[in-house]
Structure 1
Amino acid sequence: MAEISLPWGGSITGDAGPYTDDQWSDVWRQLFTRDRTLEGVLPDYLNEFVVTNPAGLTIRVASGGAVIDGKFYRNTANVDFAGAAPGGGSNFYTVVAHKDFAAQTVRLSLLGPDVVSPPAVTQADGVDWEVAIYTVEITSGSVVTLTDVRVYCHFNTNVSTAMLEDGAVTTPKLPDGAVTAAKITDGAGSGVDADLLDGLEGAAYTNTLSTLAASSDITLTNSAVLIPGMSVVLTTGNYLVVASVPMIVSGSSGQYADINLQCFLDAVLQFGEGDDQDDIDASGRSRKVTMSFVWRVIVTGSQTLQLRASTAAGSTAAVDTSWQVDKAYALKV
């Protein structure tokens, strides 16, 4: 029969039974194993047939469940086998789940010893079918080495991304080397962006220095006025603004000037300012003073930073900037 479906009720209509044990075995094998020559152990079922060496040369197989070539098998107790140490070299064994067609059983079994390598399993359809669980080496010095060769059952389907629950794939479940460089697609939208740090290009972590240099002089008044040339457009980030602005105070003996140097961001005055009070001495000679200050400003988007200067009300001396040496720097940090 080329086509079959099951199970159905009755025994006459369509694909109704009775069904043979081979038909049921085929269903289970096709559903729960993708490679019947290797797979069988059921994950997270009892103790998964873990093999240990509790003492001496005893080889102990813990409880577990399996689907061996379509036959369900369960063992709820430990099964012990006796190994033997050779006079020289090593004895090799293979712990298997053995499906015996004639006896109609699945049982744990120990193959060996073999003095060269772990014995190969027998897989003869209709006669015997063995699936390896562990291999064992016993040296002449009675040293027992156990090697896990279990391959778990895999439901015979393809797993799509949508079938994975959030957090289902954890780091311990990824074998070393499972994700190769060739399987990682870098670039925008990939979610990898290996060339970025916290999603940002390297330039975002580079200190950017903007220079504000005066281009001409002004005479200060009681209103804060932009020092020509001392303006710059900044982009998002934190900045230290450092200013050094020499000024010339002139007048006659007894006059004074109260000078203010201020920082504005999009015309909004920032906290802190440079302040200096200077008196003209008895000689009446002009004085040169340097206004220095450091601001910390936070820029959002694109904003214009300006340095402005003024004299306080009541100042009587004249104050002029000295543009050739007026400098300020905005350092992105």
Structure 2
Amino acid sequence: MFNFRKNLLNKSLLIGCSLLTLSAAAQTSVWQVKKGEDTVYIGGTLHILPSSQMPLPAEFEFAYQQSDTVILEAKMPDPTDAQAQMNMIQTLSYKNDETLSEKLTPQVKKQLEAKLAQFGTSLNELNSFRPFMVSVVLMSMELQKQSLIGEGVDAYFAKRASADNKPQQYLEDIAFQLRLFKEMGENNENKFIQSNLDQLNDYSTLFNSMMKAWRSGDTELLNELVVLPLLKDDPDTFKKLLKDRNYNWLPKVEAMFGNEQQELVLVGAAHLVGEHNLLSLLTEQGYTITQLDIAGQQ
């Protein structure tokens, strides 16, 4: 059971908070943010990316090669770190014999049990997990079923940077992310699980649409597919997951200017789409933002 849960947790942290990335003019998903002669690259990422989507758009490689430091959302614990894995399990699990099923209506519980049975598992195996963790398990299993699971852009560049001895820094720590995940769906478990079950009805189509939008850089479609539904159906999660974090990250990105280093910032691209997105916040502060154009750099 521990290994089962540990593997699910690893997937959840790779998925993180967003499954999007973006571009402005249907060409690329990397942006140049300039202040004077200083440049910071910001790339929107998919936290899950099937191997069929490799190699990445050339702009990612260009920005990586130009940068001295890679900035990620958070440092993922080593899968071999048993203590870290146990801490994640404890944080994303109920305590005092609480269970998820007791917080669901009979109808939603029945739907959840039926969906899990399709994947060859049961609610008993997940009943101690909080809503976010269960939602990630459902999504991971669906993507696995459709052969769409794979290492994300963030994980890919974390490995590249480690192999190249390129420094890595982080916008927040894993403890913060776990607290955030713990709160998602809290006191609203029934609606949260129901919403996730509804989304799974045609999730492979949605995910493929998001990947195509990532490749083509269709920001309006990405906003329409994910950010706007979240804002409409769960404004509290939108605030905690996207808006508040974008405002928290803004001064950290601004602090990257005025030094002798050049940074590549990689964030889930829901942070770069729609209301209160990170790029628009930087624009409001007077930074010049343009879509990275490889042809224009050569």
Whether the TM-score (by the shorter chain) exceeds 0.5 is no
Shorter-chain TM-score: what band? Answer: under 0.3
Instruction: Report the TM-score, using the length of structure 2 for normalisation.
Output: 0.19
Instruction: Report the TM-score, using the length of structure 1 for normalisation.
Output: 0.17
* Greater fraction of residues in strand: 1
